Structure 1
Amino acid sequence: MKKLHTLSAATMMIAALGLTGCTVEPESASSEAPSDGAQAESEIVLETNQELHDALPEDIKDAGTIVAVNSGSFPPYTVIDSNNELSGATAEVGEAIGQILGVEIEHNTVDGLASVLAGMDAGRFDLDLGPVGDYEERHAQATFIDWVQEYVVFAVEKGNPESITGLESVCGTSIAVQAGGSAERVIKEQSDKCVEEGKEPVDVQSYKDQPSSVLAVQSSRADAFFSSQAPLTYFVEQSDGALELAGTGKSNGFDDILQGALVPKGSPLEDTMLEAFKILFDSGRYEEIMTEYGLEGNMIEAPGLNMGS
């Protein structure tokens, strides 16, 4: 299956928003699927849905292209290698959606969700395939087409020396998080609770990206990295046994976290993209892609608009 190429985007103001921020691939990480090191050929053939193609805006049909954007590597969904090539589950979802709509998905990379939204407002981008956290406060800026569910857990050193079993067990420990994200907010709130209960506060260490946070744990500067389960699973697999997950199967301060693609609020692509994702799900290709990247636990039964809260 071919790789999709990223195109350079204009430099815009950096502002980190949400649980998933801009990340870069660590030097030791592979740019391919974590399961077997290569993208598998699909046995499912997707054909263009003429009705959905005809429903696309005229400028997209004329160009034959939907201009998509992402905010950097977020493995195993998006991985951008040194040649600026995009791979991962999102790349394969984008290729499948393009087949259904009868257009190419052109990928651009910018720095952070704020830049994604600014680019959409300026008309430079039609779509972010994500997955981006769907929170109610974001519905005023964009419409989400939710296609995965996420969880927030801890990556710790092998053997879990600080016995971190969930959010309630982190008092007195040092926890790495991505700056400006929801995980940072939740861990700081937990630190305040620790103090209220007469326990030691959490030493919250905020880093600009995921690789820096992972390195903090591997170098024993932090006891754990608190972040999304899907990318943490990827980093654990890439650590050659140095890391493991902790606090899985718990809410860890979060309600259900739905994530998805997003389009500008009021975009004519809203309903068309939702119907394309429904075909992706019903065809079995969605399950095939998610399974290929070890994301079975992040699947949802059906896509929907603005299902997050």
Structure 2
Amino acid sequence: MSRAVFACAGVEVEFELGGWSGLLPALVAGQIDVMWDTLYYTAERAEQVDYIVYMQAGTGGMTQKGNPKNIGGLDDACGTVFSVGLGTVEEAAMRSQSQACTDGGMEPVEIMTYPDVAAGFRQVENQRADIMMSDLSLLTKYSIDNPDTTEMAFKILTGFKIGVAVVNDADDLLRAIEDGLRVMEANGTKRELFIKYQMDPDLALATEVLRD
């Protein structure tokens, strides 16, 4: 996506890889000009950098091929086994959902945790868990790559905005990226790239600059 946007905008770019924890501080310090990663927008971060938002985050539920328990969302979770990442927002959400089940006189959700996504994949494929919950794009790609054993059961669009962060007061660069994204939205390239890289097109948001 970033290469296509910079090419569309006619901006020459040099890419550098870095550890996640150091990227935003490097941007704030002016050591890099742009951070393009899965960076959630927050008002606190927007006090330090400028954002061009272009997509939202999503959570997915992946099950065995054929969806044997016919799980179509969290409302179907009572009495089933959900696999979630240890300490994640999905774990907290499912513990709340399990409480809602018992409060309503239904069976609780049995919650399994995994230390890494590979373990979560195995729990579903070995039928130890009915559903694995994780990042929507990650699970969508895995289910496409493993169609004989898995499929997506449901998706939840969280509404958390994801954007490109640009060093403050670099207005020309900010507008170049914004214009590139808007052109790609208008001509369909943005959607094509989402599909090409096995990301759910429903995650796309209209391009928007956020500075506070």
TM-score normalised by structure 2 residue count:
0.76
How many residues in Structure 1 have an aligned counterpart in Structure 2?
208
Give the Cα separation in 2 of the matches to 1:216 and 1:139. Answer: 39
SS in 2 for 1:198: coil
User: Following superposition of structure 1 onto structure 2, how do residues 41-120 of structure 1 map, counting pairs within 5 Å?
Assistant: 93-99=1-7, 100-111=9-20, 114-120=21-27
Specify the alignment match of 2:165 in structure 1.
262
- How big is the shift at 1:303? 0.8
Give the Cα separation in 1 of the matches to 2:108 and 2:66. Answer: 23
Asked if 1 retains the 8 angstrom alpha-carbon contact of 2:101 and 2:108, the reply is: yes
Specify the alignment match of 2:182 in structure 1.
278
Task: Name the aligned partner's letter for residue 102 of structure 1.
Answer: V
Specify the alignment match of 1:207 in structure 2.
114
Task: Name the aligned partner's letter for residue 297 of structure 1.
Answer: P
Deviates more, 1:233-242 or 1:278-287: 278-287
Distance 1:136 1:280, change over 3 A: same
Task: Name the aligned partner's letter for residue 96 of structure 1.
Answer: A
Task: Name the aligned partner's letter for residue 192 of structure 2.
Answer: E
Task: Name the aligned partner's letter for residue 194 of structure 2.
Answer: M
Give the Cα separation in 1 of the matches to 2:101 and 2:47. Answer: 34
Give the Cα separation in 2 of the matches to 1:213 and 1:151. Answer: 18
**Is 2:127 aligned against 1:223?**
no
SS in 2 for 1:130: strand
Asked if 2 retains the 8 angstrom alpha-carbon contact of 1:150 and 1:298, the reply is: no
Distance 1:124 1:289, change over 3 A: same
Specify the alignment match of 2:149 in structure 1.
242
Counterpart pick for 1:233 among 111, 127, 140:
140
Task: Name the aligned partner's letter for residue 196 of structure 2.
Answer: E
Give the Cα separation in 2 of the matches to 1:203 and 1:165. Answer: 17
Counterpart pick for 1:177 among 84, 92, 106:
84
* Fraction of identical pairs, as percent: 23
Give the Cα separation in 2 of the matches to 1:270 and 1:128. Answer: 12
Task: Name the aligned partner's letter for residue 178 of structure 1.
Answer: G
- How big is the shift at 1:236? 0.6
Asked if 1 retains the 8 angstrom alpha-carbon contact of 2:53 and 2:208, the reply is: yes
TM-score normalised by structure 1 residue count:
0.55
Give the Cα separation in 2 of the matches to 1:270 and 1:208. Answer: 38
Give the Cα separation in 1 of the matches to 2:169 and 2:108. Answer: 45
5+ residue gaps, structure 2, are: none
SS in 1 for 2:15: strand
Asked if 2 retains the 8 angstrom alpha-carbon contact of 1:281 and 1:287, the reply is: yes
| Greater percentage in strand | 2
Specify the alignment match of 1:290 in structure 2.
194
Give the Cα separation in 2 of the matches to 1:280 and 1:106. Answer: 21
Give the Cα separation in 2 of the matches to 1:303 and 1:158. Answer: 35
Asked if 2 retains the 8 angstrom alpha-carbon contact of 1:98 and 1:105, the reply is: no
- How big is the shift at 1:243? 0.5
Give the Cα separation in 1 of the matches to 2:24 and 2:114. Answer: 22
Asked if 1 retains the 8 angstrom alpha-carbon contact of 2:53 and 2:205, the reply is: no
Deviates more, 1:99-108 or 1:131-140: 131-140
Give the Cα separation in 2 of the matches to 1:228 and 1:149. Answer: 11
1:94-132 Cα offsets, whole Å, 9 max, x none, are 212332242124141425xx4543444455543332344
Give the Cα separation in 2 of the matches to 1:175 and 1:213. Answer: 10
| Greater percentage in helix | 2
Specify the alignment match of 2:70 in structure 1.
163
SS in 2 for 1:106: coil
